[in-house]
Amino acid sequence: MKVLEYITINITAETLCFIVAIFTLSKNTDWLWRSSIGYLFITCVIELIGKYLKMHHQPNQWPYNALLVFHIFYTLFIFKHILDRYIKSMPMIISGLALLLTMYAYELIMHGFFEFNQLTYNTMSVFFVICSLYYFYELLKDSRYTGLEFSADFWWAAATLLFYFGSTAVNLFRGQLSVKVTPNHYLTYYIYIVLNILLSLGWSYSFICRKWLTTISKN
């Protein structure tokens, strides 16, 4: 099988984001930010597994069910980290975690591991949008100066909001967006590619900001 067949736009964007994370976060003293490296590595591996299974005409939903658990834990605890600057966010984060894991278990019981947990993903997307908006609400209320152009929290949350708000909108209007742009792909396929690129770019820049902040603090 040719290696080039595995190089999709999504996999390329996620791999580049992973590489940026290695160079910017590997020596970061904050383990939550440093966990981005492991999370992105797992994401890239599962994307490759999903692509391999699809190319061999095998069910490829189960790897994304596994990835969903990492989505939930990583994103929620980064939100906890950036929200703790303004509020005690643990009750909100734990409530969201309990809800999502309960829904995840329920879906597994209903249809097994080989069908994607779409309801859990949709609920997760809405909850992440709420967390992002709450962060921006607290940021606007904060009287302290924040240089947004160099704020890792801001760019990480902005990219997350854009991706999950876009995903939620696509799911809500999937019927209207089910228009074939090419013989093999619908409009939604290209929207998700754009969203994924924007997420990877936003997170990459937030990692660079985090590296810059760490360097300045040391000096």
Compute the chain's Rg from CA coordinates.
18
Measured in whole angstroms, the distance separating CA 171 from the mean position of its chain's CA atoms is 16
Helices 118-141 & 62-83 angle (0-180, nearest 10): 20
The single-letter DSSP state of residue 182 is S
Mean pLDDT of the chain: 91
Provide the 10 A C-beta neighbour count for residue 88. Answer: 9
- C-alpha distance from residue 14 to each of 36, 50, 67, 208, 218 (Å): 12, 14, 14, 15, 29
* Structure token digits, residue 77: 């605890």
Does 1 score more than 60 pLDDT?
no
Residue type, 188: T
CA end-to-end distance (rounded Å), the chain: 50
pTM of the model: 0.92
Tell me the pLDDT tens digit for each residue of 32-85: 999 999 999 999 999 999 988 988 888 899 999 999 999 999 999 999 999 999
Give 99-128 pLDDT, tens digit per residue. 999 999 999 999 999 999 999 999 999 999
Q: Where are the domains of the chain?
A: 3-218
Return phi, psi of residue 180, to 5°.
Answer: -75, 120
CA separation for the pair 38, 18 (Å, rounded):
9
Whether pLDDT at 162 is above 80: yes
Q: Which residue has the tokens 């966010």?
A: 89
